[in-house]
Each structure stands twice: as C-alpha cells, then as structure tokens.
A = this chain, B = another copy of it.
Amino acid sequence: MVPAVSADSSSTSFTPLVVLELASDTKQEAIAWLLSRIRDPQQNGGAELLVEQLGLGDGGSEKENPNLFLVGAKWQRLLSGAEEVGLFKEFSDGSMRGFTCANKHNFKHFEGDGDSFLSMAECQYIIKHELDTLRAKDETHVPGHPQAKLYPGKSIIRRLQSKGVLIQVFPLHEKEELKRLSYSWYQKVKLSFQPLDDIRRYYGEGQALYFGFLEYFTFALVPMALIGVPYYLFDWENYDKYVVFAVFNLVWCTVILELWKRFSTSLAYSWGTLSRKKAFEEPRPGFHGVLGFNPVTGREEPLDSNTKRQLRVYLVSLPFVLLCLYLSLYVMMIYFLMEGWVLSVHDEEPTFWTGVLLFIPSIIYAVVIEIMNLVYRYAAEFLTEWENHRLESSYQNQLVLKVLVFNFFNCFASLFYIAFAMQDMALLRQSLATLLITSQILNQFMEAFLPYWLQRRRNKKMMRKVQKRKAVAEAELPLAEQVRLEADMSTYLGTFDDYLELFLLFGYVSLFSCVYPLAAVLVVLNNITEVYSDAFKMCCVFKRPFSEPAANIGVWQLAFEAMSVIAVVTNCSLIGMSPQVKAYFPESEMQLILWTVAIEHGLLAFKFILSFIIPDVPKHIQIKLSRLEFESLEALKKKKMLEASELTKGIQ
C-alpha cells in the first residue's frame, strides 16, 4: 500500500498554534474572504496572521471535514500582539511590567529575536485575541452567507460562530510539553506541591489559580481534619467540646480565606496579571451596541448604555432568579410531603412494594433537582448574555452569581430544613454524610473516569486506523491526524464547575461542621484525588483550553466568604439547639438564645475585624506596585514636559 500523498500536505511552513474548524458546507467564497481577512496586514484592518488549510488525513476523506485551518503567526507579529493585549512580563530589574516591543531587550529571558520569549499558551491567547477583535469593515454580510449579517465593528469570528459557520476555535496541545507537565504533575509518585508555574505556562493563569486554590484549600483543611478525627472517634455526643471545635473552624475559615487573598495576589503578581487594568479590557466579542468611542481609550468600539444593563439585571434577571429559588423551595417541600406520605403508607401496611415506594420520593427529587439545575443553567446563560455585559469578567461574575445562588439552594435547602425546621440532628448527620459521599463518588466518576474512558476508546480507534493504513510502528501520530484527534476531544468548559464543586464541598465542611466533624477529612481525601483526576482530565481528556489571564479567583472569593458568614450563623444555631447546651440553661430557654445570638454577633464582628486587619496585598508586592505607579506618573510628567518644550520650540 502506498502512503497517501495528503499526509505530506499536512506539514506546514509555520508552527501551527490555533485550529479553526468551519462547517463542511461553508461556501468557498466565504472561506477565501475569511482567510484573506485573517492574512491582511493590520493597516488594512486584517489580523496579519498566517493561516493554512489542513490536508485530509488518512481517514476516509468522505467522512472527514476538509475545512480545518491552522493559524499561526510570525514572531514579530506575536510580540506586537503581546503589547496589544497588555501582557506583563518580568523586567530586568525583577519587577513585572507591561511588555513593549520598543523595550523588548530589557525584559528578562528575551534572547535573540525573541522566538522563545512567549510561551505557546501566550501565543495562542494572542492569536485568539487578534481573531476575536477582527472586525467587519464595510461588509454587510459574510460572502456566500447572506443570513450572516455584518456591520462595521462587528466581530467576524463571533458572527460566524453564532451562525454555525465556524464550528470551533481551539489551541493545539504541545505533545512534548504535555508529557513533561503530566509527569511532574500527577504521574510521578511524590509528596510535593503542584508545578503551578508550569501549569500556568501551559494552561494560563485562570487554570493555574484554580489548581493553586484547590491545593491551598486542601492544605488549609488539614488542621480541621486532624482536629475532627479525635472528635469523631471519642466525643461523638459531647457538645461543649464541639463549641471549641466550631469556633476554631469558623476562625480558621476566615483566616484561610484572607490568607488566600494574599497568596493569590503574590501568584498573580509573579504571573503579571495583577496589574492588568480592567478598564482597558477590550469589550467581549459577544458585546453589541452602537459603534462609538470608548471614553477611556478613545478607541472605536461598540457602546451600550450602562443604565439599560442595570435595568435588565434588576428588573428581569433578579426577579427571575428569585422565582427560581421559590420554585426550588416549593419542590423541596413537595419532596418532604411525599416522603412523609410514603413513610405513613409503609408504616400502616409494610409490604415489599411499599418498601420499594420508600425510595421513590428521593429518586424523583434527585432527578427533578438535576433537571432544574440544567434548565436553570441554560436560562442563566441566556439571561446573562442578554444583559449584554461589556467585559468578559463582568459577564462571568454575573453568570457565576446566578448559578451559585441557585445551586446553593438546591444543595443545602433540604439540609437547612432538616436542621432548623425538623431539628432532627441524627437525620441531618446522616443526610450530610450521604450527600457528601455520594456527590464525591459521582463527581469523580462523571468528571474524570467517564470522559477518560471515552477518549481512550477514541484514541485507540484513531491509532488503529492510522497504523492499518500507514503500517508505521511509531506511536507518534502525523500532524493532520493529531489535529483531527484533538478536534474530536471534548471541550473544557472552564473552571466554573470545578469551583462550584469546591464551593459546595466547602459548604458541607463549614455549614454543619459541628454535627459531622469528619466532613473535613472526607473533603481532604476527595481533594487529593481531585487534584489528580483534574490534572489527568486536563492533560488527557480535553482539548487544550485557551489560557485566560486572571488576577484572582474573582467572584468565588466573595462566594466562599459569604459561605463562611452563613456558617457562623448555622453553627451557632446548631450549638444553641443541642440538648447538651440546653441543659446549661434549664430554667430559661430565652437566656440560651440570647447567649447564642450574642456569641454569634461577637464571632461575626471578630470575622469582620480580622478581614479588616489582614492586608489583602503583601507588603513587598504593595511596594512594587506603588513603585510602578510612581514611575508611570513621573513618566507622564516627563512626557508633558517634552511636549511643552517642543511647543516652545515651535513658537520660537
């Protein structure tokens, strides 16, 4: 058998960084137009990138999509792109500064013409940014696709995506890098920290911060777990010791959240994302509005009224969320009614069928919750899109906030009901343990094992196919096959679900810590496996995600802090409700409640003071930031001085 000629055509003249997949029925004129717009020099409104069609692989060409395009760029273009996106790199004096081409030789690790200065993830981020900001000039629609309307300033890529012409854009993996990273990350048997800098280099700051938080959170829970074990083993029902345990937990939660802020600030500084300014963020590609001039930068971009957005948020989204929360509570109440009814039926005449019936309400409730979560998620995404946020970050924040509140209700409403309405501590402990353990097992299975297994099957099939045709022995796939394989991999949808999982786990640990001290132990164990399974899934299961610059975990910090405030309230109430504490106030229940409330207020005040006292930014980073700011103000003065002296010269 002769090897197919097409295998050769897949070798490109540049390093391919990003893949564009267009629908197979895309018109040729649209493709030609898009490629020319991507290749056009920047003066003409193009992206000035390199782009080439991927040759057909060895798989049957009739089934495969021919419209895969590899995008790359010259080094000079990438460097000027790095300046455009405002990348911060380490300067020769050790501080982090915005990269400028004019000053490139003063940055650390800039050698020769700088072809190894940017990491591949950074290059891919730059290319994505350039593609996203590729805007229509005077086209009224995409050539050959009259339904894909365009107007001056509209992001082309976004329109193609929304009309289904562009199926996906994704960055390519680096086989060698990935092997090294996965070895040091999870394959090596070791007792060491995660290689956060390598993760950041390969996946970007958003991912690295997630893994940093996961690791930090795990270590931070270890003291709670260690203290929880003897409580579990020896003092199961001794509540006055639980008071000490609960108070320790609450203070500890506050301290770790505050310290995380400092730690993440250090990370973000060393990764150069701390000083990137929000106001200079380009509008997100989905943002639409009348074209105008940004009042800050003076650049042309779509504008939309802030007031309108606020009205959308408060008059539509907020009532919708509240309605959904009400629905969720309503469903929970129906569940408890069904539960009670089934129990009474079973108690009256216990048969095999009533025994089976006992499980029905829980199953229905679980299914309904899952469906509600799913439907709500789509609704939340639709609403947040419709709110038309200018910045990707505020879009994400609004989305997270919506989903978060609803998930919190769905997960914890039944626990709250058991704890405070039914006041059944044994049931609470049992429900908590069941929920925690089942959700962990399910998560690990759904998140890592299942996708891995699917991907493995797909991998093997592709390998077999290629080997059959080419009869080559090497395990290395040719580029065309590699690209097609990656195009078929699942898409990683961001850290959202990972954080949500951590958030709910944090809730299990903190909200009812005094009835189930083993929770911290379980969560620590879960987190350790989570690090491995998440790392594994990032390396082997998913397409490489685009790196997203992040200076902190954003709205999640607030979410965790809110949870720790709620935890103070729940724990104090639980302790106040315990029979052992009640025994101290035999004559007056009022006294007991007043004491509980007083202590709770004291704890809340202490939390607040603590978060006020611990500075969010470590001193040494504060100094570096101030220095940069000081220098930039001095530079502004100098610039003004130069302008003034030129003006004077002009007059003379």
Residues of A within 8 A of B (CB): 83, 98, 100, 102-103, 105-106, 277, 279-280, 295-297, 306, 569, 589-590, 593-594, 597, 601, 619, 622-623, 626-627, 629-633, 635-641, 643-645
Residues of B within 8 A of A622 (CB): 279
Taking CB as reference atom, which chain B residue is nearest A623? B295
Asked whether A630 lies within 8 Å of B296 as measured between CB atoms, the reply is yes
- Nearest Cβ in chain B — how far from A264, in angstroms? 20
On whether A641 and B589 interact (CB within 8 A), knowing A296-B627, A623-B295, the answer reads: no
Q: How far is the CA of A100 from the CA of B633 in the complex (A)?
A: 11
Q: How far is the CA of A635 from the CA of B630 in the complex (A)?
A: 12
Residues of B within 8 A of A297 (CB): 627, 630
Please name 5 pairs of A and B residues whose Cβ atoms are closer than 8 Å in the assembled complex, sorted by A. A280-B630, A295-B623, A589-B590, A590-B593, A632-B633
Most buried by B among A279, A594, A623, A639: A639
Q: How far is the CA of A633 from the CA of B637 in the complex (A)?
A: 12
Taking CB as reference atom, which chain B residue is nearest A593? B593
- Nearest Cβ in chain B — how far from A613, in angstroms? 9
Q: How far is the CA of A228 from the CA of B643 in the complex (A)?
A: 60
Asked whether B632 lies within 8 Å of A102 as measured between CB atoms, the reply is no
Taking CB as reference atom, which chain B residue is nearest A280? B630
Asked whether A637 lies within 8 Å of B277 as measured between CB atoms, the reply is no
| Additional A-B contact list (7), CB under 8 Å, known A102-B640, A106-B640 | A98-B637, A103-B643, A105-B644, A279-B626, A593-B593, A635-B636, A636-B636
On whether A629 and B277 interact (CB within 8 A), knowing A590-B589, A619-B306, the answer reads: yes
Asked whether A277 lies within 8 Å of B102 as measured between CB atoms, the reply is no
Q: How far is the CA of A629 from the CA of B593 in the complex (A)?
A: 53
Q: How far is the CA of A83 from the CA of B638 in the complex (A)?
A: 12
Q: How far is the CA of A100 from the CA of B640 in the complex (A)?
A: 8
- Nearest Cβ in chain B — how far from A637, in angstroms? 5
Q: How far is the CA of A633 from the CA of B83 in the complex (A)?
A: 12
Residues of B within 8 A of A641 (CB): 100, 102-103
Q: How far is the CA of A584 from the CA of B301 in the complex (A)?
A: 60
Contact of A638 among B594, B601, B639 (CB under 8 A): B639
Q: How far is the CA of A601 from the CA of B573 in the complex (A)?
A: 13
Residues of B within 8 A of A103 (CB): 637, 640-641, 643-644
Asked whether B279 lies within 8 Å of A637 as measured between CB atoms, the reply is no
User: 3 smallest A-B Cβ distances: which pairs?
Assistant: A102-B641, A279-B626, A103-B640
Asked whether B295 lies within 8 Å of A102 as measured between CB atoms, the reply is no
Q: How far is the CA of A597 from the CA of B576 in the complex (A)?
A: 13
Taking CB as reference atom, which chain B residue is nearest A604? B604
Q: How far is the CA of A106 from the CA of B644 in the complex (A)?
A: 9
Residues of B within 8 A of A590 (CB): 589-590, 593
Q: How far is the CA of A242 from the CA of B626 in the complex (A)?
A: 50
Residues of B within 8 A of A639 (CB): 635, 638-639
Q: How far is the CA of A75 from the CA of B446 in the complex (A)?
A: 75
- Nearest Cβ in chain B — how far from A640, in angstroms? 4
Residues of B within 8 A of A626 (CB): 277, 279-280, 296
- Nearest Cβ in chain B — how far from A619, in angstroms? 6
Q: How far is the CA of A296 from the CA of B624 in the complex (A)?
A: 7
Contact of A637 among B102, B306, B594, B637 (CB under 8 A): B102
Q: How far is the CA of A174 from the CA of B102 in the complex (A)?
A: 53
Taking CB as reference atom, which chain B residue is nearest A629? B277
Residues of B within 8 A of A630 (CB): 277, 279-280, 296-297
Q: How far is the CA of A402 from the CA of B143 in the complex (A)?
A: 72
Residues of B within 8 A of A98 (CB): 633, 636-637
Q: How far is the CA of A569 from the CA of B286 in the complex (A)?
A: 45
Q: How far is the CA of A569 from the CA of B598 in the complex (A)?
A: 10
Q: How far is the CA of A296 from the CA of B628 in the complex (A)?
A: 8
Taking CB as reference atom, which chain B residue is nearest A647? B105
- Nearest Cβ in chain B — how far from A649, in angstroms? 13
Contact of A569 among B102, B105, B589, B601 (CB under 8 A): B601
- Nearest Cβ in chain B — how far from A146, in angstroms? 39
Residues of B within 8 A of A640 (CB): 100, 102-103, 106
Residues of B within 8 A of A102 (CB): 637, 640-641, 644-645
Residues of B within 8 A of A296 (CB): 623, 626-627, 630
- Nearest Cβ in chain B — how far from A79, in angstroms? 13
Taking CB as reference atom, which chain B residue is nearest A622? B279
Taking CB as reference atom, which chain B residue is nearest A638? B639
Q: How far is the CA of A135 from the CA of B630 in the complex (A)?
A: 23
- Nearest Cβ in chain B — how far from A595, in angstroms? 11
On whether A295 and B627 interact (CB within 8 A), knowing A98-B633, A597-B597, A635-B632, the answer reads: yes
Q: How far is the CA of A554 from the CA of B45 in the complex (A)?
A: 49
Residues of B within 8 A of A638 (CB): 635, 639
Residues of B within 8 A of A629 (CB): 277, 279
Q: How far is the CA of A83 from the CA of B630 in the complex (A)?
A: 14
Q: How far is the CA of A369 from the CA of B132 in the complex (A)?
A: 68
Q: How far is the CA of A98 from the CA of B102 in the complex (A)?
A: 27
- Nearest Cβ in chain B — how far from A224, in angstroms? 25
Q: How far is the CA of A295 from the CA of B297 in the complex (A)?
A: 31
Contact of A631 among B105, B631, B636 (CB under 8 A): B636
Q: How far is the CA of A627 from the CA of B636 in the complex (A)?
A: 13
Residues of B within 8 A of A295 (CB): 623, 627
- Nearest Cβ in chain B — how far from A311, in angstroms? 14
Q: How far is the CA of A631 from the CA of B633 in the complex (A)?
A: 9
Taking CB as reference atom, which chain B residue is nearest A619? B306
- Nearest Cβ in chain B — how far from A304, in angstroms? 13
Contact of A636 among B594, B632, B645 (CB under 8 A): B632
